[in-house]
Structure formats: structure tokens, C-alpha cells
Structure 1
């Protein structure tokens, strides 16, 4: 698609208006309820789990991203109006996936139903998938043509590219297609979070694109206001949505263990091992930490009290007397704070070389 032509802006505005009209007509909020009985109600966690399962299946089959977005849209629309049991959830999900594939994919790319039932490990036969497919179509009045969040994201992305060449310069070496692929992955990650199910697809897409504009474009605020006017979305709602999306995307990064400890080590010489001893007879027993230069330090085996006592001793918040029988030994070489350093870390106390 070409974005630089003058008439392209009018065409994109028409596509946005048409998609917003379909969304207003067909979108219905899915309100997951905490199940009172796991055998009769689908919990929010179960919904998110099956969406992640569909994402893995979609990735393995290498289908269009529009297929996965339409699958999730069909699934949520169905669950919003039908009370289904958890044991049928995968059968419902695979039926929605098959419907979306037949809607978006080329004929030669549509997986055979028998192969899909076998490779997906959905636990149901092809005939059961076909019966569930008919149920889904009946409940949705045979109308699968809805505006997905990905469609809005593509329109907003094209609008930005058509009127802001500085946005291209801020993409840090990636072309528009690669950048759109990155945004699509972020969108699919958000769609697997039930906390965002209360948000319309247009609002979710606009929050994603404006968060990206804030990182890449100096005058992102003016462009955001322009997109708000075109989409006819309230700014206060967008602010709330951006906060939720930003919180969701933090889990999209490579997550660290919950008890990871960062040790400030400016010296080139690595530490072989550290022994933190107790300061007195009433202190907790010593805890041995193995310090590896490139490994993330995990303290899952430490008690909470021992962990914080060790931090206190590290920053000399507890009075530790030198010498004595209960004195622990320090580790490594001397850690000296450089003069004029602007590091926000508190100064580390000097220790002796063992």
C-alpha cells in the first residue's frame, strides 16, 4: 500500500469510519466472571490460556496475523453471549480458528480439518469441530465480518506514515513492514490478557500506536490529538487505556525471576564467591551466595529476613564490629566509589580482600 499520495488520507479516513461503524454495531463487551464452580464456568485465566494456545498454533501453521485476530474476536463474541463449560473451550476455540482461517486464508493455505484436529491436540474429532462450528455460526447469526483490533492498528499505522515522515526516521533502522509486525505481536499479547477485554478494538489499537509514537516521534502529542479527532475517541478514555496497555506490555519483555538481585560491580575483575556472615549471636545464620559474572542472581532459597539483613549489612545500616568470633568475611576486591559519579546507588562500603 502506498502512503504518500494525497488521496490516500481520504481513503484511510473512509476505512476508519467504516470499521468504527461495524465495531459500534457488533462489538459487545465480554465480562468474564470469577467461576463459582470450575465445572460450569470458564474463568478469565482459562480464556487467556486458550488464546495463548491459539497463538502458538497460529505461529506453527504460519498463517496471516489477521487470522489470529479474527479468531480471538469470534471467540470473545461467542463467549459474551453463550455460557459454555470449560471442557468445551478448546473445541470452541479450534472451531473459531477454523472459521477464521477459511475467511482470511487462501484456499491452499487452509489446513485440512483432520490434520488440524490431530496437530493441535485439541482433544476433539473433526466431526465434533464441525458441529461446534455450526453452533458458533448460529449464535453469531452467520456474520463473521467484524472490525478487529488489528484492522484499526493497520489503519492508524498507515495514517501516521502518510502524514509524518519523521516517524519513519525514528523507527531505528526497521522498515514500516517490520515495525508493523512488531506492533502486531504486541497487539496479540494484549489480546491474551482478559484485563483488556473491556476496551474496544479501536481504543486498544490507538493506545498501542500512540505509545509507539511517544518513543519515536518528537511531536507525538499533536499527532495523537489528530488521531483522536479522526477516531472520535475521548482523550480521558485513551489515557486510561494507555496505562493498562503499558502495564500489559511490560510482561511482554523477557521477564526476570521475581527475586532477582542486582549487584553493583564496576570493577573488571569478577568475584568468585561471597560469604556474608552474621554480626552477632542473635543474627541469622550465614548465607552463601555464588557470584557468577554473567548469571542472574537468584535468591529463591534464602529466607526473607536473611535477604534483608544481608542488604542492611551491605550498605552498613547495621553496626558491624570488626573482629570477633562471629564476624563474617567479606568478598572480592575493594569496591570504591568514583569521585564525581552520578550513580543514584548509595555508596558501597569498602571491604577487605580475602
Structure 2
């Protein structure tokens, strides 16, 4: 087997080439057999309903056997990668489909858009005890949340292997999934979970729980339960695509007047208020363009074209700076 850099970082040098052992079944000793582990499981399906994925995916992983059958789930959540709107479906699958309970939660995020408190609220609404949650607020740097989760995963790896935990990595980030594959090869039961979207499915041999997409309807229905309780957060957090499209294309009634080319609808203004609440005002005014984009994504506008249409409909929007320092003034 060709070891990845993540494997080498997590494995002791004398055990890099560990001999493969058959992986026990989920119902008995641990995770599903290797010949089935690459197929995503849609939320609401039993873990025993896996179908074989066609060949051509990533190379098979050498597996060591867990020491106990699974009785609980340890969640490792990349809060910057997955929306708290998936918490309800995630916990329903763990508890009702698999009959397991949550033993611990490691949650990491840069708190960009209040992702950490929104995740904490969503978990509390699903009756996850606060004393089981480790919330890590990291710096606003690329991959910072991934690295925080990876460090915790490595620190707890041996405990998970010897105990009854099934590790569930909630992310589609390739760094974190690579670390999860290395941990599984060291003898832990590891699954990956993420919300379905238009992007290509994560390339992994790990068993995968595919959760329902975080779309505009879900964002509207779950805003109250997945957002911190502040006056602004109580506003309807999304806007139908049809509203964004029509406002972006609205013609000027009187071109000679000072009226803006795009008129904001009430729902558009509500979403704009949400964006302002989730983004930090920068010195000199305005908000970082990257923060605005991520805030819109978490509020339901997962398509880049939809986000662009929304921004074009913002009255008197101006751009200042370039690159990572680019600010949007509105």
C-alpha cells in the first residue's frame, strides 16, 4: 500500500506496513466489510443497506480490527465545512437508524458567520449534552478548523480503537477525510458524513452517510433552531432564487433619476441583515468579500451564480481592495 503523508504522520514508524485483517461487520464487531465501505448511505437508510461501488476509487486501506463492537458515536465536526442545518438528520440517523448514542462531539470553526454558536444551538436542540461537546474556535486561516479536528482525532485515536466508539467525521474536506482514512487503518471504526450538494462526491473508501442537501427550504424551516438567539438572527434567513433572479434583472423605471438599478425586496433585505449580523465590520468600513460569500452559503445560497445575483441586487454595493483584502461596502 502507498502511504499518504497523513498516514505517515499518524502511524508509528514500526507499524507503517501493518498486515491487513478482514474488517468485521457493523452489526457484530465494527464497520461494514471493505467491499462495501465506499458507497454512501443516504440519511434514513439502515447501515446494512450498502451497495457495492464500482471499481476505480481510491486504493483499499489496510484495516486493523477494533477491540469492541460499537455502542456509541464520536462526532468530529468541521463547522466551517458543514452547515448546522444538517444536525437533525445527522442525529436521527445515528440514533434511530443505527440505535447508537453520541458519546462526544469535537466541533471546530473559525466562528466566521457564528458557525460555532449556531452548531452548539443545533446540537442542544437535538438533546446532545453540553458536557460531551468540545468547541474549538480557531483563527480565520485556511484549513485551521481541519487541523484542529485532526489533532483531536489523533489524540483520541487509541481510545476510540479500544472503546465502543464509532468515529463519525462530519466534513467533505479532503484533508480531514485523509486523516479519517489513516485513523481507520489504525483500527478505529470511521464513517464520513456530509450534506449532498452539486459538488463531486468526496473520493474515499470510507463508508459515507450522505445527508439531505441544505437547500433554501431547509434554511427557512430550520433557521430558528440552528441560529443563535439574537434579534437579527430571528429574521427569515434565506430568499427564494426566483426573488433574487427577478430583482437582479429588474429594469430601471426612470433611468435619468438616481434610483438604483436593482430594488431590494423585503426578503432580500432580511437576508442582507443576516449577512451583516454574521460578518465583522472591517477598519475603514465594509465586510470582507470572503466572509460575505461564506455567510450567504450558510444561509442557503450554495450556488455561486445565486450569490452573485444576490449581490448585484444590493443597492449601492461597492468593492474596495483586491484579493484576500477585498471588501464589500453596503
Greater helix share, structure number: 1
Per the TM superposition, whether the score is higher than 0.5 is no
Relative contact order (C-alpha < 8 Å, sep 6+): which is higher?
2
Greater strand share, structure number: 2
TM-score (norm 1): 0.25
